[in-house]
């Protein structure tokens, strides 16, 4: 009997994309798959409530950058990133999904996910990482190379209003050090409609996100751990 597949989801906000993943696991669209951790860098992230209200409830964790730095004198942002990575690695996910995670991750996070670092250095996390590399993917509301970084939706809509573009899109890509420059996994273009309100445009875009994030997770999980194959 093949073991179930595990996803860890990193969030910072309302968690509507997390909810899409929760629903996909529950409905079998993501077969034999569980979300084993929802991690937030913001205490008020509603996605933490979504996880707690899932059936069964999904374990959650929270760690924000500034409180971490205050409680760890002389620590750096990179130390924080590595701490986050060990806490995520502790649940041995098969896939890590950044779903509205609004923090740029340094290489220290990626090195831990790739299995390049040895024992956890943190006092909070006692684990020895296997060498297994864990894929990390990110949902970004823009086309490859178009509007990297934060506030991509607003920037794209404003560019359309200036007559500079006629379409934008949503992508899920592999996470690398360079923000939003990882290899695209899935891309969905979205046309702008003349006269359409920003609210309606955003509604269409978010609905596209909810579909593509599930499809991308399914694609990556199948590549790494096809259903029915015993995972490591």
Ligand X SMILES: NCC(=O)N[C@@H]1O[C@H](COP(=O)([O-])[O-])[C@@H](O)[C@H]1O
| Cα angle, residue 231 at apex, residues 58 and 85 outer, rounded to 5° | 50
Nearer to ligand X, 79 or 196 (CB): 196
Told to check if 214 binds ligand X by CB under 6 A, we report no
Where residue 119 falls (left for φ over 0; alpha for ψ -120 to 50; beta otherwise) is: beta
Nearer to ligand X, 84 or 139 (CB): 139
Least distance between ligand LMY7XDAE and beta carbon 41 (Å): 8
Instruction: Quote the radius of gyration of the chain (alpha carbons, Å).
Output: 18
| Residues between 137 and 176 that touch ligand LMY7XDAE (CB under 6 A) | 138, 140, 149-150, 175
| Matching residue, tokens 């790739």 | 114
Least distance between ligand X and beta carbon 173 (Å): 11
Stretch of residues binding ligand X (CB under 6 A), selected from 66-74, 126-134, 135-143, 156-164: 135-143
Given ligand X, ligand LMY7XDAE, none, residue 16, with its beta carbon under 5 to 8 Å by kind, binds ligand X
Q: Would you say 48 and 40 are in contact if contact means Cβ atoms under 8 Å apart?
A: yes
Sign of the CA dihedral with 8 first, then 14, 16, and 19 last: positive
Please report which helix (H) or strand (E) contains residue 46, including its range: helix 46-52
The 87-106 contact track toward ligand LMY7XDAE, x by CB under 6 A, reads -----------x--xxxxx-
Residues known to be catalytic: 140
């Amino acid at each position: 009997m093949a073991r179930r597949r595990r996803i860890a989801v990193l969030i910072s906000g309302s968690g509507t994309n997390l909810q899409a993943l929760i629903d996909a696991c529950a409905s079998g669209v993501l077969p034999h798959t569980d979300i084993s951790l929802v991690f937030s860098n913001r205490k008020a992230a509603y996605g933490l409530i979504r996880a707690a209200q899932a059936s069964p409830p999904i374990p959650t964790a929270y760690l924000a950058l500034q409180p971490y730095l205050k409680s760890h004198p002389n620590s750096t942002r990179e130390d924080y990133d590595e701490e986050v990575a060990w806490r995520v690695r502790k649940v041995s996910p098969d896939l890590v999904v950044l779903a509205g995670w609004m923090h740029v991750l340094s290489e220290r996070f990626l090195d831990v996910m790739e299995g390049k670092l040895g024992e956890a250095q943190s006092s909070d996390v006692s684990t020895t990482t296997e060498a297994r590399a864990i894929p990390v993917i990110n949902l970004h509301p823009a086309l490859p190379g178009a509007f990297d970084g934060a506030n991509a939706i607003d920037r794209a809509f404003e560019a359309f209003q200036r007559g500079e573009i006629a379409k934008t899109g949503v992508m899920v890509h592999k996470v690398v050090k360079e923000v939003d420059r990882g290899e695209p996994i899935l891309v969905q273009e979205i046309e702008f409609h003349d006269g359409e309100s920003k609210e309606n445009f955003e509604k269409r875009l978010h609905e596209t996100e909810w579909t593509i994030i599930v499809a991308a997770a399914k694609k990556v999980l199948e590549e790494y751990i096809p259903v029915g194959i015993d995972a490591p």
